[in-house]
Structure 1
Amino acid sequence: MVEGCDASVLIASTAFNKAERDGDINDSLPGDAFDLITRAKTAIELECPGIVSCADILAAATRNLIVMVGGPYYEVRLGRKDGLVSDISRVEGNIARSTMPVSQLISMFNSKGFAVQEMVTLVGAHTIGFSHCKEFASRIFNYSKNSEYDSAYNPKFAQALRKLCANYTKDTEMSAFNDVITPGKFDNMYYVNLQRGLGLLASDQAMAVDHRTKTYVDRYAANQTAFFEAFAHAMEKVSVYKIKTGNKGEVRHRCDQFNSIKT
């Protein structure tokens, strides 16, 4: 999502333009998650139509999922409106890519008011979820003249990824867990993985060695409680970033379309 917990990414393509959801970086967003939000919105609309926005549902569902898989609880303030614009052009430059150097990541987060520690904390969300092979293929195939894979990888991990993603150009759905050790649990293992060369994405692994981020990686790897406390605080901040209120947004009747089609 481009602006905090705005629900614009839920909008599907229309005959007039491509939506945020159509950005290639959003390919990993699973269809069943969109379906879940749709079903939640439908149930709520039947009870109290026009009251609860899709953005609020997203914010609450995110928090609840984190708690369900072992992560920290944090307060979610409600009252957001849904966005009135969803355009693919708004995606690039607002969501971090796996190939971005640490300096660019820091600059991107800083432009939105998030410090380096908050950036490292929020990226810890990669303790759950997955990434398609295309996001890290350049690290495991023909990496350089001297090595087939990035030497920052644990060698056994690199070989396993090469085997997993061997046919990724034909089977574009091939993917790997961001946290290979505890993929279904929200914990601090993501940071421990970075220390062991088990960071799936280049942008993540780089944080384990960059002098501006390494301190926080090491801190969270050693202390899960510190990570959880920092993550809860950072998520509260994210959840109110550029929210829509008043006439700057609307409460959609359906999460996959605006209340009136914009031409």
Structure 2
Amino acid sequence: MKAITWFVVALVVLQHGGTVCGQLNNYFYSYTCPYLERIVSSVVRSAVMNETRMAASLLRLHFHDCFINGCDASVLLDDTDSFEGEKTAGPNLNSARGFEVIDTIKAAVESSCNATVSCADILSLAARDSVYMTGGPYWQVNLGRRDGTTANKSAVNANIPSPFDSLDTIIKKFQSIGLSVQDMVVLSGAHTIGSAHCNTFSSRLFNFNSTSSPDPTIEQSMLGNLQSLCPDGSSDPNTLAPLDSVTKDTFDNYYFKNLQNSKGVLQSDQALFSTPNASTALYVNYYSNFPNAFFMDFRVSMMKLANLNVLTGYNGEIRKNCRFRN
């Protein structure tokens, strides 16, 4: 009798888009929104085809969300008269983008499955699809997250890894949320796609650390290209340098090959390989030589990131509009 009772409870929970014991699972919306992943992939594919850079933007958006208090879609919340969101925090301002794509996905999902799918789950799926559509690995996204009702701008400013941080600082920031040194190196490999504004690396080009000389860890031909692109540390948001100039729109392991050749655009990236006696250099060499290992470990680290401190069960809410609390 008890076995039958638990079966009925589990079936009812699943039919209402729930989880037993609040655990994420890959069949969470099987009954309540069966076409969810098809909807997300269709919108992401269209957005990436229209602007290849959008793949990196959606991936970064997911990262910036999960790094602060877990994956609760707090990064999507707009400021209001009575609420301060995270969009104007330093690491997000003029950097985080792709919000309109998430809006489009949410509208399509709402028309099919009203008040059912969280914005946090949409973000996680969009990040996965962005990687896959640019040539990267595919992984199963466990679902069942709920959306947060708070944001933490000060935590964004303090905790999101900065391109100016030392390697030790970046490692500590990852470890503070439960991610290892290997996770940090693997997830940094996401910079195989995407671009950087001049002001994130211009300090390396002319007067590095007040030495009146460029950063000595920059390869000379790349240095010349970056100096021509950003002669005065341009803050023009339209002036961008690809983080991987070899295969800038393809998710592959060239990010690690670039670091071996002193072609990391961001100081924080090049530090993974150029910092004396850093254990991270071993991972850089490994993933440079074994692309399949990078794909496999990236998949694992992304799933680990996406499961950090999620809200489930009756915690949080399912936002009707990702920009505002209900």
Amino acid at match of 1:150: D
State the number of aligned residues: 257
Q: Normalising to structure 1: TM-score of the pair?
A: 0.93
- Tell me the secondary structure at the aligned position of residue 21 of structure 1: coil
Q: 2:90 aligns with which of 24, 29, 36?
A: 24
Task: Name segments (4+ residues, structure 1) moved above 6 Å.
Answer: none
Does structure 2 conserve the Cα–Cα contact (< 8 Å) formed by 1:17 and 1:87? no
| Alignment root-mean-square deviation, CA | 1.5
Identity of paired residues, percent? 40
Give the gaps of 5 or more residues in structure 1: none
Q: Does 1:7 align with 2:70?
A: no
Q: 1:93 aligns with which of 158, 166, 184?
A: 158
Q: Higher relative contact order by CA 8 Å / sep ≥ 6: 1 or 2?
A: 1
Does structure 1 conserve the Cα–Cα contact (< 8 Å) formed by 2:257 and 2:288? yes
Does structure 1 conserve the Cα–Cα contact (< 8 Å) formed by 2:203 and 2:233? no
Considering fraction of residues, name the structure with more helix.
2
Amino acid at match of 2:282: T
Write the mapping of 1:42-53 to structure 2, written as runs, cut at 5 A.
42-53=107-118
CA displacement, residues 130-178 of structure 1 (integer Å, 9 cap, x when unaligned): 1111111110132256553111001111111111112544524422111
Question: Which segment drifts farther, 171-180 or 68-77?
Answer: 171-180
Does structure 1 conserve the Cα–Cα contact (< 8 Å) formed by 2:198 and 2:235? no
Give the gaps of 5 or more residues in structure 2: 1-64
Identify the residue that residue 251 of structure 2 maps to in structure 1.
186
Does structure 2 conserve the Cα–Cα contact (< 8 Å) formed by 1:12 and 1:22? no
Write the mapping of 1:1-263 to structure 2, written as runs, cut at 5 A.
1=65, 2-26=68-92, 27-30=94-97, 33-143=98-208, 147-169=212-234, 171-210=236-275, 211-259=278-326
Structure 1 or 2, whichever has the larger Rg, is: 2
CA displacement, residues 102-149 of structure 1 (integer Å, 9 cap, x when unaligned): 111111111111111111011111111111111111101322565531
CA displacement, residues 51-82 of structure 1 (integer Å, 9 cap, x when unaligned): 00111000001101111101011110011001
Amino acid at match of 2:130: L
CA distance in 2, matches of 1:151, 1:17: 45
The 1:145–1:46 alpha-carbon spacing in structure 2 relative to 1, beyond 3 Å, is closer
